[in-house]
Structure 1
Amino acid sequence: DILLANLEDGVPADQKEAARAGLVEIAQSPTFATDFGATQFWTRVNSLDSPWGLDDLTAAVLEAGEALDVIMIPKVEGPEDIHYVDRLLAQLEAKAGLKKPLLIHAILETARGMANVEEICAASPRMQGLSLGPADLAANRRMKTTRVGGGHPGYLVRTDPPMVTRDDGTAETDINADRTTYQQDLWHYTIARMVDACVMNGILPFYGPFGDIKDTVACEDQFRNAYLLGCVGAWSLHPVQIDVAKKVFSPAPADVAHAQRVIEAMGDGTGALMLDGKMEDDASVKQCHVVVELAKALSASDPDLAASYGF
C-alpha cells in the first residue's frame, strides 16, 4: 500500500546522508510513477530534535516533494511539533512551487505524546494519521518489556484460588493449586485512545511494528486486536508480515455476508428486528455498513478479494 523511505532510527548515524540521498534518487527516478502506480510514497524523517531532522524535511520537500505524499514525524510530543512542521512545510512548498500540500503522519512514541494525542490530531489540516511506536513508548514509560510490540507473558490475570477443606472441617484457599492464567494486552488502552483521537479529527490510526518476525501467529493476534479496535492498517517489518496484515485488515467473507444480510433485512435502517436469534437495530446496521464499505473499498483494487465477497 505504501512505499516508505525510512531515514530514522533504522539507519546508522554514519549512513543518514546516504539514506536521504536514496529518498531523493527514488523520488526523481523517471520510472517512479510507472513502477509504483497508485502506491503512495512516504518518508519517515529523523526526529525534530535530532541533527538530521531539518535537513531531512528540507530535502524531502525541495528535492522529492513532487513524488511524496506523506511525511512521517517520529516522537511527536505535542501540537507544537506539528505546528512547526506545518509552517516549515508551507514555506518549503512555496519555495519548491509544489501544487499539492504534503500530509503529516505522527508517530506516538512518548508518554507526553500520548497525553497530548487529541491535541496532536487536531494540530493541522495536514494531519493524515497516527501510528503507535510501541518500543520507544515502552522505554519512555519505563515499561519492563524488551519486546517490540505485542504482549508479554508476565502481564496477566489469574483465576481465584480454589477452596480446600482441612482435616478439622474448616475451609481455606489453596494459593498453590494449579490456576488458569490469561495473558493481557499491554497496548489496549493506548490503541483505543489513539483510535478515538483519530476518529474525532477525521484522520487514520495505524498499529505499529511487531518485532518477533518468526511468530506470525502472535503477530496476527496483535494486528487483529488493532483491527477490531479501529485501526486501518499496521506496519510490516518483514515480507512474512505482509500477508498477515492483508488477511487481518480485510473483513472475513463470512462477516461481510452477515453484514449484507443485516443491511438488507433492516431496510431503511430504523427500528429493530430479530435475525438468527440476535437483535439488530439502527446501531448494529451502522456497524454492518462499516464492514461492507471497507470490503467494497478493498475490492476495488483486489479482484480475488472481490470474488471472495461475491462482489
Structure 2
Amino acid sequence: MSTRRPRRSELATPASSERMCAKAPSSGADLVFLDLEDACAPSVKESARSLAIDALTGQDWGSTLRAVRINGLDTPWCHDDIIEVVTGAREALDVVIVPKVRGARDVWWVDVLLSQLEQKLRLTRRIALEVLIEDAEGLANALEIARASPRLEALIFGAGDLSVSLQARVDGNFDPLGPYPGDFWHFARAQVLTAARATGLAAVDAPFPAYGDPDAYRASAAQAALLGFDGKWAIHPSQVPLANDVFTPTKEEVAAAEDVIARYRRAEAEGTGAIGHDGRLVDAAHIRLATNVLARAAHGAPPKRRTDQTS
C-alpha cells in the first residue's frame, strides 16, 4: 500500500465545462478526472477534448493527479479521445480512466495504444490506468482485469451502470427501492476490493449522486473504508473534504498503531511472539494491521508540490 499514490478522493469534472475545469485544481482532491464520457452530451464530446487539454496543460495542479475519463471502447469516440488528449496533454496527463471494462482485452487495447503514443511522442513518464468495474461481465472478470496491465493503479467500483447491467431495482442514488437485508452492494464491493488487493492495486468506491446529503455521503464512505477501500469518487467538490477525512486515519488511530507496534517490537526483541495489550492478544497479524494504518496516514499527509509541471 505504501507504494501506491493516494486516492482518498477522486473528483469528477465535466470536460465540457471551462468553469468547472478551472475550479478543479483547488478542490483538494487527490485525483481529478476530466470526464469525456457520461458528463458530456454527444454533441460536445469532440470539442470537450481541447478543453480538457487546455485545463491539463494550462493550470497549476499542484500534487493533484491529473486524469481523463475516456468514452467506452464500444463507442465511436474512444480511439480519438486517447490519441488527441495524450498528444495534446503529453506530460500533463497522469492517468487515463477506462469505463465499462468487461475483460482483460479491453485493458490490453488501451495499454497498447498508450505504448505506441508514448514512444511516438517520446514521453518520459508512463501514463497510468484506472478501470471501472461497472458491468456484470466485468465484475465476474475483476481479477483477470486487475492482472491485465502493469499500468493499472486502481480498480473503481461503479454502482450506477452495474445497476443497469444487473437489472437491479434501485433509486437515483443506487440504493434499493425496498427493504434489503444488509448492505445491498456488499458482494460487488468485496469482489472489486479482493481483485485489487490480490494484485496490489488501489480500490476506489462508487460515486454518490446525492451531493446535497453530506451525512449520507460520509456514512457511505465510512462503510467502504471499513471494508478496506482506499477512497471514493466525488461528483461535487463539497464531497472531497468528506472523503479525505474518512479515508485518513485519525491522530488517535495513528498513535494507537505506533504504540502497539513499539510494544510488540520490544517484546519481540526479548523473544516473545505475542503479547497482551488492553486485555487482548496481539500477534504478528495485528502488527500488519497497524502497519496498514500508518501507510494510510502517510497518504493523508500534506504532499510535496509537483516538480514536473508542463507549461
What TM-score bracket applies, with the shorter chain setting the length? 0.7 to 0.9
Q: Which runs of 4+ in 1 moved over 4 A?
A: none
Deviation, 1:301, is 3.2
Q: What is the TM-score with the length of structure 2 in the denominator?
A: 0.83
The residue that corresponds to 1:250 in the other structure is 248
Quick one: higher RCO (CA 8 Å, sep 6+), 1 or 2? Answer: 2
The residue that corresponds to 2:160 in the other structure is 135
Contact map agreement 1:61 1:96 (CA 8 A) in 2: no
Deviation, 1:142, is 0.6
Tell me which of 269, 274, 277 is aligned to 1:275. Answer: 277
The residue that corresponds to 1:232 in the other structure is 230
Deviation, 1:211, is 1.0
Deviation, 1:153, is 6.4
Deviation, 1:98, is 1.2
For residues 214 and 56 of structure 2, the distance between their equivalents in structure 1, rounded to whole angstroms, comes to 32
Secondary structure, aligned partner of 1:235 = strand
2:46 equivalent to 1:4: no
Where do residues 23-34 of structure 1 align in structure 2 (5 Å cutoff)?
23-29=52-58, 32=59
Provide structure 1 residue ranges, at least 5 long, that are not aligned to the other structure.
158-183, 303-311
- C-alpha RMSD of matched pairs (Å): 1.7
The residue that corresponds to 2:87 in the other structure is 62
For residues 40 and 7 of structure 1, the distance between their equivalents in structure 2, rounded to whole angstroms, comes to 17
Q: Which of these two proteins has the greater Rg computed from alpha carbons?
A: 1
Where do residues 77-92 of structure 1 align in structure 2 (5 Å cutoff)?
77-92=102-117
Amino acid aligned to 1:154 = G
For residues 278 and 152 of structure 1, the distance between their equivalents in structure 2, rounded to whole angstroms, comes to 39
Contact map agreement 2:133 2:139 (CA 8 A) in 1: yes
Aligned residues: 271
Secondary structure, aligned partner of 2:234 = coil
For residues 229 and 58 of structure 1, the distance between their equivalents in structure 2, rounded to whole angstroms, comes to 37
For residues 255 and 134 of structure 2, the distance between their equivalents in structure 1, rounded to whole angstroms, comes to 38
Tell me which of 109, 125, 129 is aligned to 2:134. Answer: 109
Deviation, 1:28, is 3.2
The residue that corresponds to 1:192 in the other structure is 190
Where do residues 214-233 of structure 1 align in structure 2 (5 Å cutoff)?
214-233=212-231
Contact map agreement 1:155 1:186 (CA 8 A) in 2: no
Q: What is the TM-score with the length of structure 1 in the denominator?
A: 0.83
The residue that corresponds to 2:298 in the other structure is 296
Contact map agreement 1:134 1:148 (CA 8 A) in 2: no
State percent identity of aligned pairs.
34
For residues 297 and 136 of structure 1, the distance between their equivalents in structure 2, rounded to whole angstroms, comes to 30
For residues 147 and 277 of structure 1, the distance between their equivalents in structure 2, rounded to whole angstroms, comes to 46
For residues 28 and 19 of structure 1, the distance between their equivalents in structure 2, rounded to whole angstroms, comes to 14
Secondary structure, aligned partner of 2:68 = strand
Cα deviation 1:194-216 (Å, max 9, x = unaligned): 11111111111101201111222
The residue that corresponds to 2:51 in the other structure is 22
Shift of the 256–229 alpha-carbon distance from structure 1 to 2, 3 Å rule, reads same
Tell me which of 260, 268, 291 is aligned to 2:258. Answer: 260
For residues 100 and 155 of structure 1, the distance between their equivalents in structure 2, rounded to whole angstroms, comes to 49
Amino acid aligned to 2:176 = H
Provide structure 2 residue ranges, at least 5 long, that are not aligned to the other structure.
1-29, 305-311
For residues 153 and 28 of structure 1, the distance between their equivalents in structure 2, rounded to whole angstroms, comes to 44
Amino acid aligned to 1:152 = P
Contact map agreement 1:5 1:42 (CA 8 A) in 2: yes
For residues 126 and 93 of structure 1, the distance between their equivalents in structure 2, rounded to whole angstroms, comes to 13
For residues 87 and 58 of structure 1, the distance between their equivalents in structure 2, rounded to whole angstroms, comes to 12
Amino acid aligned to 1:132 = F
